[in-house]
Amino acid sequence: MKIGLFIPCYVNAIYPDVGVATYKLLDYFGLDVDYPVNQTCCGQPMANAGFENEARTLAENFDKMFGKYDYVVAPSASCAAFVKFNYSSVLKENHICTTSGKIHDVCEFIHDIVKPEKLPGKFPYKVSIHNSCHGVRELLLSSASELNIPRYSKIKNLLALVEGVEVFEPAKVDECCGFGGMFAIEEPAVSVCMGEDKIKNHIATGAEYVTGADSSCLMHLQGIVERNKLPVKFIHIVQILSCGL
């Protein structure tokens, strides 16, 4: 099983420790992991802003670079979802997409493909789970509250494998935090208001940390917390799963 590790541009630039933690975790499971050093942005920001032509070159580059791997794994639900569900449309007749069926968010990959029974680390803190919209409604990392289906959470299942962690979920568990990429730029007042509501629900759980599968959502919420000097910290779930490695 050959794994191509995709580290999204904003993770590489702002949260490199998340990328390192992802590699350590995959390596711990004995997987053959390769990191293509010439990788770039997947093209999501351009496509979301309406510039699909600009995104197409990046998508072609991504698809050629990662097409040789059995799986492509990324510590970002939104980027993984973009490749999985939008690349065929972006590439169109220019290029037959080979990666959309191979890419997984790291939580999805570990939960569904690796299926570990335990993890070696300890994280003795109270943690509130933040469910990102892409993770819930596209990658199905947890059940969407509007659907009449049994409740589940892959993130919660993975955290249960880490010794000492105490897991909480906020009210309105899968309500959007307001980031939404371009939405936060085009509608900043609404975006911040949504984020403030979300943070209140996370803090109300009594958690010391907020965690999730999307650094973009966590970044948005962390900005609100820092501006308002609120008593909660942020950590990507892969950093919890890899603690002690």
Q: What is the mean pLDDT of residues 83-92?
A: 88
What mean pLDDT comes out for the span 193-214? 97
- The structural domains of the chain, ordered by start, are 2-114 (3.40.50), 126-241 (no CATH)
Strand partners, 127: 167, 209
Long-range contacts, stretch 88-91, CB < 8 angstroms, 24+ apart:
89/52, 90/43, 90/47, 90/52, 90/55, 90/56, 90/59, 91/56, 91/59, 91/60, 91/63
Q: Please give the single-letter amino acid code of residue 170.
A: P
Look up the pTM and report it. Answer: 0.93
pLDDT value at residue 91 = 86
Q: What are phi and psi of 161, to 5 degrees?
A: -85, -10
The CA distance from 175 to 169, in Å, is 12
Each residue of 130-174: pLDDT tens digit?
A: 999 999 999 999 999 999 899 999 999 999 999 999 999 999 999
Instruction: Judge whether 22 and 240 are in contact, CB under 8 Å.
Output: no
